[in-house]
Amino acid sequence: MTSPLKLDLVDTQTAELDELRGQSYQTRRATVPALEELLYKPLPVLDHGFVRVVDYMGDDSAIVQAARVSYGKGTKQVSEDRGLIRYLMRHWHSTPFEMCEIKLHVKLPMFVARQWIRHRTANVNEYSARYSILDREFYVPSPEHLSAQSKSNRQGRAGVLEGEHAQNVLNMLKEDATRCYDNYMWMLNEDESKGDHDGLARELARMNLPVNFYTQWYWKVDLHNLMHFLRLRADPHAQYEIRVYADAILNVMKAWVPLAFDAFEEYRLGAAQLSATGVRLVQRRLAGEKITYEQSGLSKREWIELCELFDVSQ
């Protein structure tokens, strides 16, 4: 199956990427062979999006070097690095992980970008529709991700729409986006031979476009803040459209800092956080005490989440 990304890259872009990937530099800096293989390579996400590693600094050894404030690797073993990184992760240390940075080029729908930018601990430079004309590229969910609104969670989704209703929604999304883009181009009137009116300023014409159109940015972040982003956005409860970007970046992190990734997976992604009351309840259950919701001191939602976490009946 042909990647949808191949359909979106014009020949000049493909040639530029091939040229970048063909370049090599001699350096005394630490490099990571697995990440070097991914460097500049667009990783497809959604229908027209991608994540691309542009640059990085540091590796697993940079984390332990900062923690030890040492000059180099010395005689320590990889197992020692692994143990220290896991200790740092387990005890929520942050500054050693800030010694590693990565810069990504991301192409994403605008509504995902507006959610993503809530993480204010990165350096961002976004494509500007004040100066440039946006491409005719907009996101339309695949049928299996066309979900209904959850009745119990205002931020969540429920079952998938089906049949004629689903098809009507898909048609409406496509037709609205196409019509808005056509009007956008008419207002710009870049080709004056096709119209008898002055073109509207780009900074004004862009307001006609819906938020499923694609934007792009460069996003530079240190490893500590990247892990915070991934802990929230790679969570199964996160919105699908941002979660798939987080999943792609998880694969990048695994290639970049494998020891830190393993610790992150163990102590963040696969772990759970309990309140003080929750800890006491678990202790009481382990001691053999039977506890009901009414005796727990938890809210209904907390009680349900705790029972689901430990796979016990409510």
As annotated, the active-site residues are 233
**Crossing angle for the helix pair 276-286 and 300-309, nearest 10 degrees?**
50
Question: End-to-end distance of the chain based on CA atoms, in angstroms?
Answer: 46
Cα 57 to its chain centre, rounded Å, is 20
- Beginning with the edge strand found earlier in the chain, give each strand of the sheet holding 49-57 in spatial order: 43-45, 49-57, 101-109, 214-222, 123-126
Say how many residues make up the chain.
Answer: 314
Q: Which helix (H) or strand (E) holds 217?
A: strand 214-222
What whole-number distance in Å separates Cα of residue 219 and Cα of residue 104? Answer: 5
* Cβ pair 128, 140 in contact under 8 A: no
Contacts of 276 (CB under 8 A, 6+ apart): none
One-character DSSP codes across 41-110: --EEETTTEEEEEEEEE--HHHHHHHHHT-SS-TT--HHHHHHHHHHHHHTT--GGGGG-EEEEEEEEEH
Nearest alpha carbon to residue 248 among 29, 17, 42: 42
Of the CA atoms within 13 Å of residue 84, those in its CB half-sphere come to: 17
What whole-number distance in Å separates Cα of residue 249 and Cα of residue 117? Answer: 16
* Cβ pair 58, 100 in contact under 8 A: yes
